[in-house]
Chains A and B, each alone.
Chain A
Amino acid sequence: MNAQLSRRTLLGGAGAMAAALSAGAANARILPKDMDPLIGPGYRAVDQDEKGLWQLMDRVEEEVSGSNLMIKDEGLKNYLRDLIGNVGGPAAKDMRIYLARIPEFNAMMFPTGFTVVFSGLLLRMRNEAQLAGVIAHESAHFLRKHQIRQWRDMRRKTDIFSFLAMGAGVAGGAAGIYAGDLIQLAQFGTILSLLKYNRTLEAEADAMGLRLLAEAGYDPMAMSETWEQLIGELDMSAKYRRKHRDRDFSLFSTHPTPDSRMADLKISAAEVRQPGKTYDAYRDRYLAALADLRPTLLDDQVKLNDPGASQYIIDTLARDGWNGLLRFHEGEIWRLRNSQAKDDETRAAQGYAAAVMYADAPPDAWRWHGVMLLKQGRAAEARAAFTRYLQMSPNAPDAALVRQMVAS
């Protein structure tokens, strides 16, 4: 049995098959009202395959919860726990949420009901409603038993494929026909159908997440906003790298495209939104919970050296108002890229100069403002900025050096 999936097969004979698979019922929108939870409170694994999966996942959770990638801020942990307790539907009290310090837009739900949220997600959310939307989506994966359903689907399809392939081979052998190409085609079909099932589950989670979000009193429109932001960020990131956003051929991807998700979410949100009701996005509460962590989040993002994405994120957050922290990190984006051809230094200097006009400018904004002034030959102003830096941060690791710069 040849189990190789060759490139030739992918490009050649598979086209017709692919078209046949993706046609028909492929992309109908799943309605939030159809998405009822499949489990109640206190759910435990029932069937043998699910028990095995749960046992394995308990080990995974042990490793995840103890990992030093996890952010251990108790206040924030409580905040996230309350949030999932609010949008988690019937299983709200059973789910656990972990926050990993990884500067990427991602969150995932595991089969036993624990979810891992990446810190990059928290950075990108403008308010609590947006974050609640993502957490509601992840909760929906658990409430709809997606992981075990997907495992069973995969098992069933690979089982069928194995028998068909072997059967075709044996039949072909008996009839004197080489069945290799046919088998490869069938295998390709199996893979495509697995991915499609995955996309269906994601669409289900979107629809149900929306419903959970609305039931918890948040504006269901927050979810499509999140996707709008992600699309904008991907476009900007690609543009700065002089590339086009990677538009995966949707047949091969595990998730629906961001564009189609956003479109579906908008239509569905309009359905569940209560007309005339004013929704609070709880931005203040979100900012307060995230206050201590935000400088770290911005710093992690800027250091990815993805200027398009970083600038987009900062601009997005600044739609709710600029502040010293955002302006400072805007300066950092360009100082770290440091392209002389594009005069990044001037852009950086402008960022720092803008930052120090705000009362909440971090000490480093004053430091870099001083350095930039010094480079421009404005020594007296630079000295004032350095003095301010030393006042704010007298024990900074480079305090002695800066003092020397002020004195000279």
Chain B
Amino acid sequence: MRRVMLALMASVALAGCVQQRQYADVEFTPPQGDYKLLVMRPDVSVGSVTTGGMVEPRADWTEQARANFLSALRAQQASRGGNAFIMERRDSLAGIDPDTIAELDRLHYAVASSIALHRYSGDYLPTKRNKGLDWTLGEDAVALGQKTGYDYALFLYAEDSFASTGRVALQVLGVAGCFVGFCAPNVGGGGQFGYASLVDLHTGEVVWFNVSQASSQIAGIKFGDIRTPEGAAQMVDRLLARMKPGRNVRRRESAR
């Protein structure tokens, strides 16, 4: 996860703000009505930013955030009307070997890394120009769809971090310095990052990909907190709520 995350983070401007950027297959129509969605085990982690700027993972915060994220996801899916199954563990899907799920997770990780590199990090590929989102998980995903009857698989990643007291103190010192001519107001520290990736299990293609980032350059100022139920719901909303159709679909709609 680290590599995708770093590549994606580097791509989003450093200014303190909340932003999302999504890409879709040109023929993508957001799933509606009676579809069956399989949500792969969401990867959630929460850490604390040390004074020196390192992120220290926190087990208790992570568990709390994971639980809230899962219930927010359940509520969000219930409101969409689709038939969604959320995998809390790799072995939660009856009849499917957890190793098969793990393999698909790893395959998706490789594909997501490629999307991060070529769509978000600026290393654009001429062969993919004007093609919207043109990546696939191939036969493995199709096989899972045939075996389970699901129409889509959704891969989710969410992380959050919080400035420690020391980091905030450093920030205060940096701002205080502005009055004596050594100004370091942008210490930064803490922020949210996540991505969602929707795979069509009939074709194996990644049809929609969204990255959300929320951070500030001032340590101690936050745009959400996925440890709380509201914050987790906000993160789910940022990741999944505004799914746009693909380019060709939009053109046909506006031509009508």
Across-interface contacts of A56 in B (CB, < 8 A): 45, 57
Q: What residues of chain A lie closer than 8 Å to B56, measured between beta carbons?
A: 49, 52, 151, 155
Q: Are B184 and A162 in contact (CB under 8 A)?
A: no
Of A45, A158, A170, which one neighbours B173 at CB under 8 angstroms?
A170
Q: Which residue of A lies closest to B177 (CB)?
A: A170
The interface of chain A, by Cβ under 8 A from chain B, is 1, 45, 48-49, 51-56, 62-63, 66-67, 151, 154-155, 157-163, 166-167, 169-170, 172-174, 176, 179
Q: Is the CB of A169 within 8 A of B54?
A: no
Quick check: B180 and A167 within 8 Å, CB to CB?
A: no
Instruction: List 10 A-B pairs, minimum CB-CB distance, nearest first.
Output: A158-B52, A173-B182, A52-B57, A159-B51, A170-B177, A173-B181, A174-B180, A55-B59, A51-B59, A169-B182
Q: Which residue of B lies closest to A173 (CB)?
A: B182
A158 touches B53 (CB 8 A): yes
CB neighbours of B99 from chain A (8 A): 66
- What total count of A-B pairs have CB within 8 Å? 83
Indicate whether A170 sits within 8 Å of B182 (C-beta atoms), given known contacts A52-B59, A163-B170. yes
B interface, CB within 8 angstroms of A: 45, 47, 50-54, 56-60, 62, 99, 102-103, 106, 166, 170, 173-174, 176-177, 180-184, 187
Q: CB within 8 A of B170: which of A63, A162, A173?
A: A162
Residues from chain B with a CB closer than 8 A to the CB of A167 are 173
The verdict on A48 contacting B58 (CB below 8 Å), with A162-B52, A169-B184, A173-B181 known, is yes
Instruction: Write the nearest CB–CB distance from B176 to chain A, whole angstroms.
Output: 7
CB-based contact B57/A155 at 8 Å: no
Q: List 7 A-B contacts (CB under 8 A).
A: A62-B102, A66-B99, A151-B56, A154-B52, A155-B50, A158-B51, A163-B170
Q: Give me 11 other A-B pairs in contact (C-beta within 8 A), A52-B62, A166-B184 excluded.
A: A1-B187, A48-B58, A52-B47, A66-B103, A157-B52, A158-B51, A159-B50, A159-B166, A163-B166, A163-B173, A166-B170
Task: Report whether B57 and A55 are in contact in the complex, using a CB–CB cutoff of 8 Å.
Answer: yes
A65 to chain B, nearest CB (A): 10
Question: Contacts A49-B56, A51-B60 known; A66 to B102 CB distance under 8 Å?
Answer: yes
How far does the Cβ of B141 sit from chain A's closest Cβ, in whole Å?
Answer: 18
Expressed in whole angstroms, the Cα–Cα distance for A48 and B173 within the complex equals 27
Given the complex of chains A and B, what is the CA–CA distance between A155 and B52 in angstroms? 7
CB contacts (< 8 Å) of A157 on chain B: these are: 52
The contact of A155 among B45, B54, B103, B170, by CB within 8 Å, is B54
Q: How far is the CA of A56 from the CA of B63 in the complex (A)?
A: 12
Contact A169 B177 (CB under 8 A): yes
Would B166 and A173 count as touching, CB distance under 8 A? Answer: no
Whether B173 and A166, one on each chain, are in contact in the complex, defined by CB atoms closer than 8 angstroms, is yes
In the bound complex, CA of A51 to CA of B57 (Å):
8
CB distance from B24 to the nearest CB of A (A): 29
